[in-house]
Chain A
């Protein structure tokens, strides 16, 4: 928590709010802080009480640092309890997703690399093969995590990852949920052409 008062720059705030609103497609300025979203957010206790309405306030005030590094941006479950209950139909889950993408573009990493690596592993694996094979996808997720931990020389995290994921794999195996089959889709060629078309696009 900063002890200095926040320096509000109306021009910068306006630019930031417009960018987030355009990328997420949400009417951010319509929020009147009624907090129906806060009451229903399942991760509110986990984020240090950064609730969806506070996230919107950070954006409106142009507090880019808080907006891109707070816990809700990364921990939002995309459950849309907020978006469904908002009287102004603001789907804050999409704002959190947009802030995740903006943080990654700006090179800001979440404190734990797993938060970004899971979705990256899922997405890139599905592009590569056309379909998700769970073992392969989890394997890619682990490799990305290991690489991030290695860069920070965090050997303790590496060991604990290996142990926790081995336990998970063994548990899935015992429950007959671990499948050695491999499936893929020939459509990955079309998908990769679409992906090339999409690179550099921020506003859909």
Chain B
């Protein structure tokens, strides 16, 4: 099945690993990802703080490209891009005059009818029909992850309909159960990690991250599983800082959901977390493997 794919800016740089793993895992599940041609930045949370019109127009441009590609579903792994695109689609539906104004300038016009899914939505849908090798599932025995969703998957600045429980989301738990991993139940599944405020309001963000870590550890988790690249970066790259600040001795690895799913599908650690050069030199997936995925 062919899906339109919008990676977003962070999946090309600090979250390149997520891009790599998503393409690998989706390839094995027989889902061909067609990256949007000449996609542009969605504006993330910053656009709305400067200019409301552009906060809708920037994702609208990508929606136009997706719809004009002829595909019926758009997959967006990054939670911020997913949130902004969902909100923009709903606002374009609710305000047709705004849609017309934006469409005047776009070469690929938006109609507003494409289905938008996060990478996790697609995984949840497709994982049930997969058959797993007992040997690969054995590798996952003993993992006790705490599934961390963050803000942008479940809470939106505009009323959009999602098929997820806002206070106690279960998508990652469902996917993990399908591959034989039981996630721990814990309190801070959706507590904000501070996101980009770690750059300009560091201390507050570190306190929030320490709260998340503290509860995950108290519930006996041995790793965190996330589907948002910002959360993954914060929880992992700042771990020493916030743990030292709050006297937390343990450290937990922070995996993307695609990593555990990839292991269940038979991929090795090396394939899922390839060597350093892939990410330092800026090589991309097609350089390595051509168009086979």
Chain A residue numbers with a CB within 8 Å of B12 are: 131, 179, 181, 183
CB distance A79 to B192 under 8 Å? yes
* B68 on the A face (CB < 8 A): no
CB distance B195 to A77 under 8 Å? yes
CB distance B51 to A195 under 8 Å? yes
Stretch at the interface among B153-161, B170-178, B259-267: B153-161
* A57 on the B face (CB < 8 A): no
CB distance B57 to A198 under 8 Å? yes
* A16 on the B face (CB < 8 A): no
* B132 on the A face (CB < 8 A): no
CB distance B46 to A119 under 8 Å? yes
* A193 on the B face (CB < 8 A): yes
- Tell me, in angstroms, the Cα distance from A101 to B53 when the chains sit together: 13
Q: A171-B237, A186-B38 are in contact. Are A83 and B157 (CB under 8 A)?
A: yes
Chain B residue numbers with a CB within 8 Å of A188 are: 40
CB distance A194 to B57 under 8 Å? yes
* A53 on the B face (CB < 8 A): no
* B130 on the A face (CB < 8 A): no
Chain B residue numbers with a CB within 8 Å of A133 are: 9, 13
CB distance A194 to B157 under 8 Å? no
- Residues from 181 to 234 in B contacting A, C-beta threshold 8 Å: 190-192, 194-197, 199-201, 203-204, 207-208, 233
**In the complex, residue of chain B having the shortest beta-carbon distance to the beta carbon of A118:** B200
Stretch at the interface among B21-29, B101-109, B111-119, B140-148: B101-109
- Tell me, in angstroms, the Cα distance from A134 to B150 when the chains sit together: 22
- Tell me, in angstroms, the Cα distance from A30 to B48 when the chains sit together: 23
**In the complex, residue of chain A having the shortest beta-carbon distance to the beta carbon of B98:** A204
- Tell me, in angstroms, the Cα distance from A84 to B9 when the chains sit together: 27
Residues of chain B at interface, number, CB under 8 A: 63
Q: Could you tell me the distance in whole angstroms from the C-beta of A181 to the nearest C-beta in chain B?
A: 3
CB distance A75 to B204 under 8 Å? yes
* B279 on the A face (CB < 8 A): yes
Q: Could you tell me the distance in whole angstroms from the C-beta of A34 to the nearest C-beta in chain B?
A: 17
- Which of B51, B106, B201, B236 is A198 in contact with, Cβ under 8 Å? B51
- Which of A23, A185, A197 is B38 in contact with, Cβ under 8 Å? A185
- Tell me, in angstroms, the Cα distance from A120 to B51 when the chains sit together: 10
Question: Which of B106, B107, B195, B201 has the most C-beta atoms of chain A within 10 angstroms of its own C-beta?
Answer: B201
- Which of B54, B196, B279 is A118 in contact with, Cβ under 8 Å? B196
CB distance B155 to A123 under 8 Å? no
Chain A residue numbers with a CB within 8 Å of B151 are: 77-81
Q: Could you tell me the distance in whole angstroms from the C-beta of A79 to the nearest C-beta in chain B?
A: 4
- Which of A117, A134, A172, A190 is B237 in contact with, Cβ under 8 Å? A172
- Which of A80, A117, A179 is B16 in contact with, Cβ under 8 Å? A179
CB distance A179 to B13 under 8 Å? yes
- Which of A77, A81, A171, A180 is B282 in contact with, Cβ under 8 Å? A180
**In the complex, residue of chain A having the shortest beta-carbon distance to the beta carbon of B13:** A179
CB distance B53 to A198 under 8 Å? yes
Chain A residue numbers with a CB within 8 Å of B95 are: 204
Chain A 16-31, CB-CB to B under 8 Å as 1, else 0, gives 0000000100000000
Chain A 164-204, CB-CB to B under 8 Å as 1, else 0, gives 00001001100111111101011110110111011001101
- Which of A42, A132, A187, A195 is B192 in contact with, Cβ under 8 Å? A42
- Tell me, in angstroms, the Cα distance from A101 to B52 when the chains sit together: 10
Given A119-B50, A190-B107; 5 other pairs, CB 8 A cutoff? A93-B157, A126-B47, A178-B14, A191-B58, A204-B98
A to B CB contacts below 8 Å, 16 in the list: A23-B52, A46-B201, A46-B207, A93-B157, A119-B46, A119-B49, A122-B44, A132-B41, A133-B9, A134-B13, A176-B276, A176-B280, A185-B40, A194-B57, A195-B51, A201-B53
- Chain B residues in contact with chain A, CB under 8 A? 9-10, 12-14, 16, 38-41, 43-54, 56-58, 61, 95, 98, 101-102, 105-107, 151, 154-159, 166, 190-192, 194-197, 199-201, 203-204, 207-208, 233, 236-237, 276, 279-282
- Chain A residues in contact with chain B, CB under 8 A? 23, 42-43, 46, 75, 77-81, 83-84, 89, 91, 93-94, 97, 100-101, 112, 114-115, 117-120, 122-123, 126-127, 130-134, 138, 141, 168, 171-172, 175-181, 183, 185-188, 190-191, 193-195, 197-198, 201-202, 204
